[in-house]
């Protein structure tokens, strides 16, 4: 009898959760979410299955998810296996012709198709593509400069076949939306002379979100969100808040380019950007369908 009561209690709890999610399902139906997927969430089998189920559920309730995935560790493993040595300039990997071929093989090949298969197995209908398909992401060569502290002269760092988006052509994504297909995009782009370029996945996601006027840009990371100086989570930020936290040294390291991408998206018509902890099971559902959400939301206005 006790077991039956426990089972009923668990069922009631699930029913209550579904009931509370209903207003958010109505609110977000018809909206487009661009989701940057990477880090620990992609490397852990259980979390990868949770992610696939979450994406399939978002689609089922009328949300249009577009996935852009990374794959840095997997590229590194393959380069090591093939004994291809990478050169680094100021901590940035120089992507030569051999390296970009491996990056495309890993990102557009096995990695992309595994994500597609996971979503399909969870009941979604996903199709994998790269930024080269349909000229989705046209790129220009990425240049970085470094100032010499002694001479104060800037020099240009040549990172090889690393690109930044110059033009997004979203027609293919619009076609997928019309036929209820979930696009899974590898961050590989095409240069002006047909060259292949590797693109930072965060950057690719931000530019795609801006080009299609997405309602949300969601960045899945390996941290809780944006933290204050006491290492406590900041739930909500405005672009102005981000500037202040960056200038006073609260936001440092790898979080800086992520938030710059979020601000770019907001400046170009995206309603809200979110930095979520991909290590939390079902983090997409917790953000989308619960009252207070999770992680950090960057929005033009503070909301109650």
Q: Is the dihedral of CA 192, 194, 200, 205 positive or negative?
A: positive
Residue 125 pLDDT: 97
The pLDDT value recorded for residue 142 is: 86
Residue 122 lies in a domain: yes
As for how many domains the chain has, the answer is 1
Q: What is the pLDDT of residue 304?
A: 45
Please report the pLDDT score of residue 290 as a whole number.
Answer: 86
What is the percent of the chain with per-residue pLDDT over 90, rounded to a whole number? 66
Say if 12 falls within a structural domain: no
- pLDDT, mean over the chain: 90
233 secondary structure, DSSP code? B
Greater pLDDT, 184 or 96: 184
- Strand segments, DSSP code E, in the chain are 32-37, 64-69, 87-89, 92-94, 126-130, 137-147, 154-168, 182-186, 188-190, 196-199, 216-221, 236-237, 272-277, 296-299
Give a yes or no: residue 71 inside a domain. yes
Q: How confident is the model at residue 151 (pLDDT cuts 50, 70, 90)?
A: low
List, for residues 103-120, the tens digit of each pLDDT value: 999 999 999 999 999 999
pLDDT at site 93: 74
- Whether 21 is in a domain gets the answer no
Whether residue 11 lies inside any domain: the answer is no
In a domain, 9, yes or no: no
Q: Per-residue pLDDT tens for 173-188?
A: 999 999 999 999 999 9
Q: How confident is the model over 203-229, as a mean pLDDT?
A: 95
Residue ranges making up the domain that contains 274:
30-299
In a domain, 255, yes or no: yes
Look up the CATH number of the domain holding residue 156.
Answer: 3.40.1160.10
pLDDT in tens, 45-86: 999 999 999 999 999 999 999 999 999 888 889 999 999 887
298's tokens: 């960057």
189 contacts 170 by C-beta, under 8 angstroms: no
d(C-alpha 84, C-alpha 82), whole Å: 6
Candidates 9, 33, 1, 19; CA nearest to 287 is: 33
Beta pairing class for 236-237 and 216-221: unpaired
> What confidence tier does 34 reach under pLDDT thresholds 50, 70, 90?
very high
> Using alpha carbons only, what angle is made at residue 149 by residues 143 and 152, rounded to the nearest 5 degrees?
70
In a domain, 287, yes or no: yes
**Half-sphere exposure (CA, 13 Å, Cβ side) for 143?**
5
């Amino acid at each position: 009898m006790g077991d039956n009561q426990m089972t009923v209690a668990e069922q009631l709890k699930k029913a209550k959760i579904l009931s509370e999610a209903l207003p958010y399902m109505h609110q977000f139906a018809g909206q487009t979410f661009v989701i940057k997927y990477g880090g620990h969430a992609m490397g852990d089998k259980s979390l990868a299955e949770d992610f696939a189920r979450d994406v399939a559920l978002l689609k089922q309730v009328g949300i249009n998810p577009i996935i852009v995935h990374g794959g840095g560790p997997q590229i590194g493993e393959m380069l090591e296996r093939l004994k291809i040595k990478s050169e680094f300039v100021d901590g940035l990997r120089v992507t030569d012709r051999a390296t970009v071929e491996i990056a495309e093989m890993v990102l557009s090949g096995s990695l992309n198709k595994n994500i597609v298969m996971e979503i399909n197995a969870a009941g979604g209908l996903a199709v994998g593509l790269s930024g080269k398909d349909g000229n989705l992401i046209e790129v220009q060569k990425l240049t970085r400069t470094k100032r010499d502290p002694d001479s104060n002269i800037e020099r240009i760092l040549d990172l090889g076949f690393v690109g930044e988006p110059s033009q997004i052509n979203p027609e293919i994504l619009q076609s997928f939306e019309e036929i209820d297909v979930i696009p899974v995009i590898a961050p590989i782009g095409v240069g002006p002379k047909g060259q292949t370029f590797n693109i930072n996945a965060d950057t690719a996601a931000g530019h795609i979100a801006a080009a299609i006027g997405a309602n949300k840009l969601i960045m899945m990371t390996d941290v809780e969100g944006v933290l204050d100086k006491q290492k406590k989570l900041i739930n909500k930020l405005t672009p102005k808040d981000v500037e202040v936290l960056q200038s006073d040294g609260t936001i440092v390291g790898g979080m800086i380019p992520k938030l710059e991408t979020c601000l770019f998206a907001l400046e170009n018509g995206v309603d809200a950007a979110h930095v979520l902890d991909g290590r939390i099971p079902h983090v997409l559902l917790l953000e989308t369908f619960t009252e207070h959400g999770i992680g950090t939301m960057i929005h033009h206005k503070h909301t109650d």
